[in-house]
Every structure is written in C-alpha cells, then in structure tokens.
Amino acid sequence: MKLDSETFMIFDGAMGTMLQKYGLNPGQPPEVFNITRPEVIERIHSEYIQAGSQVITTNTFGALESKLKPTGYSVEEVIQSAVAIARKAAGNHLVALDIGPTGELLEPIGDVTFEEAYDVFARQVKAAASTGEVDLVLIETFFDLEEAKAAIQAVKDHSSLPVICTFTFQKQGKTMMGHDVKTVATTLESYGADAIGINCSVGPSEMLPFIETLVSSTQLPILVQPNAGLPKIIDGQTVYDIEPQEFAQFIKAMADLGVKWFGGCCGTTPEFIRAIREVL
C-alpha cells in the first residue's frame, strides 16, 4: 500500500484515550508501554486496523529523552520497539512514525535553539529509519513554525520518507504562537512537507472553517484528525461530547470540500474510525 492523494485514506484514532482504558496511570509516559506492555499497544493498533485504519501511527508522540530519562529507557529502545509492534499489527498497511513537539519553546521566546530542536527530531528519525519498517513520518500537534521547520528538516536529512505535518489551532483560528491557517499552509509547503493538515485542538464542527481556509491555501494532500468534540472534566475524568456518528458527518462535510485523508485525535476510538469508514 502507498499513500494516495487521489483516494480516501483512513488513519487511526487516539492512542492515549485507548491506553487509559487499558491501565495507563496518570503521569505515566504512554511510550513506556512499548516495552513493558507491548501486547496492549499491539491490541490497540489491531483494533484500529479492524475498524478500517489504513495507516497506523507508532506510540512515540512523546518519545523524548527529557520525558524518558526517569524511566531508564532510551529514545532508541522506545521507538524501535514501537515500530516493531506497529509493523506486526499493521501487516500490509502503512506505518507512520509519530513525532510530537518537544514541549519547549524555541528562541527567542524560549531557551531552546533551532539546532537543539533539530537534534531531538533527528535522533527520533534515525532510530525509526534504521529499522526499515516505517513508511512515512507524521509530525503532529505542532503550533510553532520554527519548530516544525526543524522537524521537517530532520526527516528530510536523515531519511527518504514522506512527511506529513499537522498543526493545532485554537478556537479563533490561530496557533498558540499566533500563526493563522493560511500562513501555516504556505510556510509548511515551502519547508518541503509532502502533506499538511490540522489535528487536535478543537472538535470537528469548530474545525470546519479552518479546513475551508486550508483547502483554498494549498495544493498539497490534506490530513484532518479532529478531537471527539471539546473536552470536559467530569468526576475528574476528561470526556468528549461528540458521538462517532455525529463526528463522521463532519468528516463527510470536510470530504465534500476536497479533503481525502482522515483520522481522529483526542477522545476518538475505533468506533470513530469505523464511522469514518462507513460515511466515506
């Protein structure tokens, strides 16, 4: 299977939401499950495949030395284990290395240099690319164009893998750094991203106007992965307010705008992926 920008492709849904169901403790790095409970990660991947996912993302969103050091596991151990699990579950479907932001602000607002951020991402890419089992890289939930540039450059410099970069926007249609949708689209295209998109941040209804702008701002393939609505805290638990069928109707509206690639972010489960498949 290859990435196809002309036909619908379905990515997977949330990993953290599923891991909470399978015993992830608050504050525990989800990526450690790749080593301590690989059977759980494989089961989640398999549930998404059975629901209709054609692209499986590795459980590596926060595979950073700063987060993993207290666990005693290295970035390389965690990523290579994640890739092996995803490949086993995915079979002939695609495996995407999942890369999240560093969690730190780059200069001049923060203390992290461009080179330091680049090195973090390069380490992740090299660890995954060395396995020969990854089909693409998904850089997701970014909000800073400079950090995204570091990540995209790291992928291009250390692999031949296609790279998708998706940003997260607040309700007013701008990132935490103040970038609007059109600026993000044109800049990511200039950085060499092979596809771009929007994930997380808000639910599909709030995201729909952003998608309209994005479609008119780029010729690149677009990936959309909304949350299952807006989060609410009930009895100490984070819950989301949209059911799979309603979620899928917004996906259909985005498809009518020309978007071909879809998945889910926070709060989504295999039931949401199944609903996407049915509506498309």
pTM for the structure as a whole: 0.96
Within-domain flag for 2: no
Is 165 among the annotated ligand-binding positions? no
Within-domain flag for 26: yes
The pLDDT of residue 25: 86
Within-domain flag for 3: no
pLDDT class for 240, splitting at 50, 70, 90?
Answer: confident
The pLDDT of residue 102: 97
DSSP state of 105: P
pLDDT exceeds cutoff 80 at 233: no
pLDDT class for 229, splitting at 50, 70, 90?
Answer: confident
Within-domain flag for 188: yes
Q: Quick one: average pLDDT of 115-137?
A: 98
The pLDDT of residue 121: 98
Q: Quick one: average pLDDT of 165-194?
A: 96
Residue 248 structural domain: 9-279
pLDDT class for 241, splitting at 50, 70, 90?
Answer: confident
Burial string for 119-157 (b: 16+ CB within 10 Å, else e) reads: ebbbbbbbbbbebebbbbbbbbbbbbbbbbbbbbbbbbe
* Distance from C-alpha of 136 to C-alpha of 280, rounded to nearest angstrom: 23
Q: Quick one: average pLDDT of 249-278?
A: 97
The pLDDT of residue 230: 78
Question: Which among 128, 152, 123 is positioned nearest to 57, based on CA atoms?
Answer: 128
Q: Quick one: average pLDDT of 118-123?
A: 98
Within-domain flag for 1: no
Radius of gyration of the CA atoms of the chain, in A: 17
The pLDDT of residue 246: 96
Average model confidence (pLDDT) across the chain: 95
pLDDT exceeds cutoff 90 at 29: yes
Q: Which amino acid is at 224?
A: V
Say if CB 183 and CB 218 are below 8 A apart.
Answer: no
Is 200 among the annotated ligand-binding positions? yes
The pLDDT of residue 144: 97
pLDDT class for 165, splitting at 50, 70, 90?
Answer: very high
Within-domain flag for 101: yes
Q: State the SS3 of 136-191.
A: EEEEEEECCHHHHHHHHHHHHHHCCCCEEEEECCCCCCECCCCCEHHHHHHHHHHH
Domain total of the chain:
1
* Distance from C-alpha of 94 to C-alpha of 105, rounded to nearest angstrom: 32
The pLDDT of residue 174: 96
Is the C-alpha dihedral spanning 62, 58, 114, 199 positive or negative? Answer: negative
* Distance from C-alpha of 100 to C-alpha of 115, rounded to nearest angstrom: 17
CATH value at residue 64: 3.20.20.330
pLDDT class for 235, splitting at 50, 70, 90?
Answer: confident
pLDDT class for 54, splitting at 50, 70, 90?
Answer: very high
Q: What is the pLDDT of residues 56-95, one digit of tens each?
A: 999 999 999 999 999 999 999 999 999 999 999 999 999 9
